[in-house]
Structure 1
């Protein structure tokens, strides 16, 4: 069901649909039914002037029942058909519902009024009932402002924190039993101020100016408004001391208990506390030991157990935040945190391995955290499942596939591949590749069903990534029967708005469907479609049968071109109209061009060098008995390869969070850079050569940034410096010598005149070579003049 797009205008602080007045909402009362602890019941009345309307919004996860008192109103929820309600009609909105349309449908002269009862978590209205009414556009504004601040400010605690949507607070619930009736105009503000609450923690900027701080992490509201760096200094006080029994159990009657709030925050379980790497004891230690050290030590510098537990919970929250900020966008199978945290109360043990893996991955994005202890505990938590001592669940498959990616990129390639094989087999054993799995094990929860669908497809796509990085085809899952439905859009998944999924069968006949009946496929679905197209084209391994290389190349071109031609206009560019980058489509486009280089280079003039084998992710040199091509075909393949290199460069300059890209693009960039170096040696000249130099500098700079978090990335970056040094230095030597060896010329250089042969490669020690002193500019400039030994590696000065 397509929804008409409404143009929004902002007058002062008020957002409204163009030409339509906003509603007026009054809170009549707030109740706290004793039979539903932790929940509040908000009763309100909404008045709409003639032609009035409300922009699309959500209700803070509240369940809503509304009844029309007078007039006529039109509502549309999620992807459902709009409904028109008249006086006496009642409608229901489920928790997490996206209220797409809400308007007075009684013509241009009739007013409308309806009453609403919202059952919402106490935490949502802790700071006021305004949180039960959140406009989409206002939410986007806040997230954009938060992103801008985080991008401008130096990293907090050694690394950037996550957006406010992933904040988790552990403050005591505020009672609203004595709340007076509030007059709230949603286009304005409260007419009665909220009762003040005591905050025991304040950030450094607020404390310096003696201002009240709301103590929100990672950035308080005042620092967001003032565009300042928000830093919380470690307390030098011990805090309130507890009785040993209370500290050990973590239980208390008050709402301030850290343990009682453990289910509300993504902290480690009570039997483990994380000690940061900056501490002399950078290990996982039992909580009882931590408490004993705090209570028996006579030093006043040790915090009380409650403070220690709170700090450890904050550190753990930070690792989850880093996971969701930098890793989740490109690998979105885990439930968004607000939905995953809801399951901790009833399924904590089931989810525990996944939680540790998420912390382990998040630790790679924190410079001051040692990930090794988390790797150890992740291994121990996964061991019973891997040994089949416990039945596997969908959460276990998620933990295994994510852990395999992390291990692979920690430069334990063989172990990572073996873990991937186990993850694939585990998913197949529980039939996660079947359509029925999601509904059978989804517990009637659309979000969980969507998560299971995404998990299988992440397994499949990760298999494709590893196959591409290791150049081993076909995929391990190539011949697997898959009937899983396609995922929804990322924004809908994060918001909890899950429409009925689209099937693979419909996707495979999309070119024949009338425009009016053609569903809109999500970015994730398009990525799956591209991966399947490449899978089919590369079903035969050309390394075992070189005669197939032309056929495989042609088939891949047809499949990829067909996929791209059927993309809707909004998916053809990863850069959205609002200036943000669609991370999934970014990855799809990167894969598209990386595979184009992989299949076209063997048939092009971009010759291979034996020094390329220095980089382990580089493709193998084509077989000597590979069939050749005529000059026209060689030039065509060269142009396609160069076009793909250029397109990858354009993707790298998009205004995206570079650290949120999948680490698998490291290999893609490395292979493209090697091909680009060959182009600079054999194809480019004059201005094109100078431009090529800048593009290689861009690629190397991007590799350097991406390698900051992953061991294999660091190694590939080092190896690429060696490859570039050798190839570019050889290009200069060939000015004085017309001989060359070590390059595969079969089927590549036959159409080029004056191709020398006979020069041997020098020997080198990649581990002792100081790549940091290599300057690409010097070697490129040497192509048009005398080579000068470089003084610095300019590309890495970022």
Structure 2
């Protein structure tokens, strides 16, 4: 029986599906691409039983045949518990993030309710059909409309949920992704197995409609225009570029544009690149004089409302925004800041609930969550060049004041607000204040016993998502403490000796999807090397980052910078700990670049930390000499003591090679096809320290082609620093300081005379680690203020002797 004609979209058309579901759909579509073109399974129901001893449940017995090379895309079973046995052939299965398992005739496997069946395929080598029987225990409600509901493909489920929730205005417009769907008419509402998997029906019982005609966009960004794709013209980043991790650039139009009526140009409002804010977006606003009004053209920047009104008044056309327009502008601005927060900051610091889960709590816990919301807006403002973050900083301070003074009892949301605010303040070049805020965040977390395992369950309100958020919050506090210790070179960590029993976080994709499995404990992680392969759980990227941080924490428990005799011992211990951690990584975690071309941001950070610490602990024992000019850069490590015990030549060469290897590995991480602005700002210090060591290698170790390649890699590092520093004040200062250090170490003081004051120097001493020589090379001091920092650009004059200057951005894949 056919259903009424559904409102559908033709193949090649673009339909904007906003919110979290669109993001998850894109990820899962990419993961299932390899399966779609393969022959599908043939599922046949043998019988359905209704056991009287388990009311409300049904038992479905079926047989599944897979042709040679057949496969089933990633799917779930509607909450059913499944027991399956292979009758003939060979079947490969992968559940959740576990390793794939090959089952032969007679083998049995079990899938718990909610299990994610990632891979299911015929593994018989392309010559034999595989058959297996399955018994499923499922709720009667699930199969009321048919047993097809126990077999749900990720792609179908995600796209249907995306469309349905967007049409009902239940999801705020955040990540806005685009999907291409194929039209068909008068099909039943059930899902059928299609071999090509390119057809999806959107039958929403007549609820599919558009409230107004789609707006035609006359502007497209450069990446969309190059591929002749439709662009939604959102600023600062369109939906396609967010989905594809591309650099979104709008080129200035060479055409004059249509003439506007005076009433239009005076309104100060337009469709712009932003869609109307969802009425479900409940967000605290700023005073009217601090609102940002979207301009009528995506090319124009957003300006304070008072300035927009002043301009219209000057032209003789005064406007008075209505209360509804003011509220809409407020929602547009805050929506944009949340979008920027989740796009650029959240991936590397994922403790806050994903937006669709956080927004659900605004109606009942708005007052509790409000400080966190303002901090998120404040951080998001740093990624918007046209937004002044100062007012939001003031409001965030006032929101946090009662909590900091203990006038109000702290909650987990308050700890989240404090730790995130401390990171932002630290990287706004208020280092001392940021460190003090970090100390307060640590103490606040300890006061409410967030470091204990029971906190998540006691204060999780029986919500697995909230419990997971609390676990992630404590571990973010711990890892941030480690980051700050590494950036300031103060060991041990402030949290090193604190007892912590918090369970480990889940995978990022599961957290974003709201699929939370029972967590893995620290005790299990600490004995993972002894567990049989079949019993070893899969640990998330976040859990592996925690494991690496704990290993480094134990190795650096003593302040080796104050005890030269410990340098060799600590260096050896750190090598052992890090090597052990890396050797136990599963194959899917050893490379932060996933098989689908995306970058695992958490594993990226873990690998960056690994190599950055390798440079810091090995350099004092290598031939990479220190110089006093390095102190110009505040995040540079201190010069080691001159009474450090010496090493033989072989050991010195070994430490030098380990340093150079770590520098090379960091360079490889920097050219991964990732959104560079989504990396944690803490890698700025890591890159700076690695670059200083690399500069020493260029001066004292490399020669010939190695020297030329080394300087190209330094350009890459400096270009990456320049890009990362665009949003953070401390990053801008470090970039300028690094230019000074590089000029002095590489004797470039005589270059670029037309732009900068020069300081010439001569070295005193030789290489560190060699007998009877000082550890540092001495340089004359100079006043950093003599350099015109406003116009400073290291890459503009670096190493003119090699040849044409290469723009560092050309080395970056973003």
User: Structure 1: how far apart are the matches of 2:565 and 2:603?
Assistant: 33
Q: How many residues in Structure 1 have an aligned counterpart in Structure 2?
A: 796
Question: After the TM superposition, which of the residue ranges 221-230 and 539-548 deviates more from structure 2?
Answer: 221-230
CA distance in 2, matches of 1:649, 1:175: 46
C-alpha contact (below 8 Å) 1:24/1:186 kept by paired residues = no
Which string of whole-angstrom CA distances, capped at 9 and with x for unpartnered residues, describes residues 367-411 of structure 1? Answer: 000000000100111111111111111100000000000000000
Residues 378 and 396 in structure 2, CA contact (< 8 A), matched pair in contact too: yes
* Conserved? CA contact 1:469–1:664, under 8 Å: yes
Q: Deviations over 1:207-259 (max 9, x none)?
A: 99999999999999999999999999999999999999999999999999999
Give the C-alpha shift of residue 35 in structure 1: 31
- Range 394-403 or range 19-28, more displaced: 19-28
Distance 1:596 1:146, change over 3 A: farther
Q: Secondary structure at the match of 2:289?
A: coil
The offset of 1:337, in angstroms, is: 0.6
Deviates more, 1:123-132 or 1:74-83: 123-132
Q: Deviations over 1:645-681 (max 9, x none)?
A: 1111111011110000000000000001111111111
Q: How far off its partner does 1:310 sit?
A: 1.0
SS at match of 2:44: strand
- Mapped pair 1:558 → 2:569: no
Larger CA deviation: 245-254 vs 398-407:
245-254
Inter-partner Cα distance in structure 1 for 2:762 and 2:5: 56
Return closer, same or farther for 1:301/1:406 CA change in 2, 3 Å cut-off. Answer: same
Note the alpha carbon deviations across 1:293-352, whole angstroms, 9 max, x for none: 999999553332212211220111000000000000000000111111111111111110
Please give the secondary structure, in 1, of the residue aligned with 2:798: helix
Is the alpha carbon distance of 1:57 and 1:281 closer, same or farther for their aligned partners in structure 2, counting shifts above 3 Å?
Answer: closer
Distance 1:787 1:718, change over 3 A: closer
Q: Determine the C-alpha separation between the residues in 1 that align with 2:795 and 2:134.
A: 67
Structure 1, 87-96 or 406-415: larger mean CA deviation? 87-96
1:307 counterpart residue number: 325
User: What is the distance in 1 between the residues matched to 2:90 and 2:211?
Assistant: 33
Seen in structure 2, the aligned counterparts of structure 1 residues 119 and 351 have a Cα distance that, compared at 3 Å, is farther
Instruction: Provide the alpha-carbon RMSD of the alignment.
Output: 11.5
Equivalent residues of 2:763, 2:778 under 8 A apart: no
Where 1:151 maps in the other structure, the secondary structure is coil
Deviations 1:683-724 (A, max 9, x none): 111111101110110000000000000000000001111111
Cα pair distance change 1:297/1:514, threshold 3 Å: same
Matched, 1:45 2:70: no
Does 2:448 match 1:430? yes
Distance across 2 between alignment mates of 1:4 and 1:519: 48
Whole-Å separation in 1 of the counterparts to 2:707 and 2:133:
70
Which residue number corresponds to residue 742 of structure 1?
A: 760
CA distance in 1, matches of 2:256, 2:144: 28
> Which range moved further: 114-123 or 436-445?
114-123
Find the aligned partners of 2:453 and 2:392 in 1 and give their Cα distance. 34
Q: Which residue matches 1:786? A: 804
Distance 1:496 1:54 in 2: 23
Deviates more, 1:325-334 or 1:125-134: 125-134
Does the residue aligned with 1:16 lie in a helix, a strand or coil? strand
Q: Which residue of 2 aligns with 1:577?
A: 595
Secondary structure of the structure 1 residue equivalent to 2:113: coil
TM-score (norm 2): 0.68
Deviates more, 1:655-664 or 1:787-796: 787-796
Residues 23-74 of structure 1: per-residue CA shift (max 9 Å, x gap): 9999999999999999999999999999999633589999999999999999
Give ranges in structure 1 of 5+ residues lacking alignment.
Answer: none
Does the aligned pair in 1 maintain the 2:599–2:674 contact within 8 Å?
A: yes
Distance change >3 Å, CA 426–CA 776, structure 1 → 2: closer
**How many angstroms apart in 1 are the aligned matches of 2:57 and 2:222?**
34
Native 8 Å contact 1:775 1:791 kept in 2: no
Q: Secondary structure at the match of 2:183?
A: helix
Match of 2:693 among 675, 679, 682: 675
How far has the Cα of 1:545 moved from its partner? Answer: 1.4
Work out whether residues 8 and 15 of structure 1, in 8 Å CA contact, stay in contact via their aligned partners in 2: no
Aligned partners of 2:69 and 2:18: how far apart in 1? 11
Q: For 1:646 and 1:71, how far apart are their aligned partners in 2? A: 47
Q: Tell me what 2:399 maps to.
A: 381
- Equivalent of residue 466 in structure 1, options 463, 467, 484: 484
**One of 62, 71, 74 as aligned partner of 2:92:** 74
Residues in 1 aligned to 2:85 and 2:685: alpha-carbon distance in whole angstroms: 58
Quote the Cα distance in structure 1 between the aligned partners of 2:255 and 2:789.
48
**1:117 counterpart SS class:** strand
Q: Give the superposition deviation at 1:544.
A: 2.1
Residue by residue, what CA displacement relative to the aligned partner does 1:599-644 show, whole Å, maximum 9, x if unpaired?
A: 1111111111111111000000111221111111111111111111
**Residue 763 of structure 1, CA deviation:** 3.9
Asked if structure 2 preserves the Cα contact closer than 8 Å seen for 1:14 and 1:188, the reply is no
Instruction: Give yes or no for contact 2:223–2:249 (8 Å, CA) kept in 1.
Output: yes
Range 132-141 or range 289-298, more displaced = 289-298
Instruction: Identify unmatched segments of 5+ residues in structure 2.
Output: 20-37
Please state if 1:87 is matched with 2:105.
yes
Moved more, 447-456 or 778-787: 778-787
Instruction: Single out whichever of 206-215 and 149-158 deviates more from structure 2.
Output: 149-158
Aligned mates of 2:520, 2:632 — CA distance in 1 = 45
Aligned-partner Cα distance in 2 for 1:109–1:322: 51
- Secondary structure (helix, strand or coil) at the match of 2:770 reads coil
Higher deviation after alignment, 100-109 or 533-542: 100-109
Offset, 1:543: 2.1
Normalising by structure 1, report the TM-score: 0.69
Q: 1:390 to 1:720 in 2, by over 3 A?
A: same
SS in 1 for 2:813: helix
Q: Aligned equivalents of 1:215 and 1:280: distance in 2?
A: 6
Residue pair 1:681, 1:731 contacting (<8 A) in 2 also: no
Contact 2:44/2:62 (<8 A) preserved: yes
User: Quick check: 2:427–2:730 contact (8 Å CA) kept in 1?
Assistant: yes
Cα 1:276–1:40, aligned 2, differ >3 Å: closer, same or farther?
farther
- For residues 248 and 479 of structure 2, the distance between their equivalents in structure 1, rounded to whole angstroms, comes to 39
SS in 1 for 2:731: helix
Q: CA deviation at 1:531?
A: 0.3
Summarize deviations over 1:114-145 as a string: whole Å, max 9, x none: 99999999999999999999954579999999
Q: Is the 8 A contact 1:14 1:187 kept in 2?
A: no
When structure 1 is superposed on structure 2, of 177-186 and 771-780 the one drifting more is 177-186
Which of 325, 333, 342 pairs up with 2:351? 333
**Of 201-210 and 672-681, the range deviating more from structure 2:** 201-210
CA distance, structure 2, for counterparts of residue 68 and residue 263 of structure 1: 50
> Structure 1 residues 222 and 285 mapped into 2: Cα distance closer, same or farther (>3 Å)?
closer
1:25 touches 1:184 (CA, 8 Å); kept in 2? no
Point out the more displaced range, 610-619 or 204-213: 204-213
2:705 to 676, 687, 696: 687
Change (3 A) 1:592 1:232: closer
Distance 1:731 1:128, change over 3 A: farther
Distance change >3 Å, CA 709–CA 78, structure 1 → 2: same
State how far apart, in whole Å, the 2-side matches of 1:793 and 1:196 are.
Answer: 39
Moved more, 654-663 or 79-88: 79-88
How far 1:764 moved relative to its partner?
2.4
Return the alpha-carbon distance in structure 1 between the equivalents of residues 311 and 808 of structure 2. 55
Instruction: Give the Cα–Cα distance (whole angstroms) in 2 for the partners of residues 372 and 738 of structure 1.
Output: 32
Alpha-carbon distance in structure 2 between the residues aligned to 1:169 and 1:422: 60
